[in-house]
Amino acid sequence: MAVPKRRTSPMKRDQRRAQHDKITAPNVIPCPNCGDVMLPHRACPACGFYKGRQVTKGKAEEIE
């Protein structure tokens, strides 16, 4: 059975563990209808369009 030849240092241990908690920025794309930023595969929160169809009321329409 394989065993470690050297003890893992605290720095190497912490570097390994830090990769699991790494924060990534959300992937945002411009809305093809209004140009506002939106998350992919979701309806645009500003105009309510998804894949060229209006599926929800946008925030701009709710304010009016």
Examine residue 52 and state whether it is found in any structural domain, yes or no. yes
57 in any annotated domain: yes
Tokens for 35, please give them.
């140009």
pLDDT tens, position by position, 19-53: 877 788 889 999 998 889 999 999 999 888 999 88
| DSSP-assigned letters across all residues of the chain | ----SSPPPHHHHHHHHHGGG-------EE-TTT--EE-TTS--TTT-EETTEE-S--HHHHH-
What pTM was estimated for this model as a whole?
A: 0.56
Domain around 59: 24-63
Task: Say how far apart CA 49 and CA 58 lie, in whole Å.
Answer: 8
The predicted model gives 6-20 an average pLDDT of 92
**Does any domain span residue 41?**
yes
Average pLDDT, the chain: 87
**16, part of any domain:** no
Residue 42 lies in a domain: yes
Domain tally, the chain = 1
Task: State yes or no: pLDDT of 64 exceeds 70.
Answer: no
Q: What pLDDT score was predicted for residue 19?
A: 83
Residue 37 lies in a domain: yes
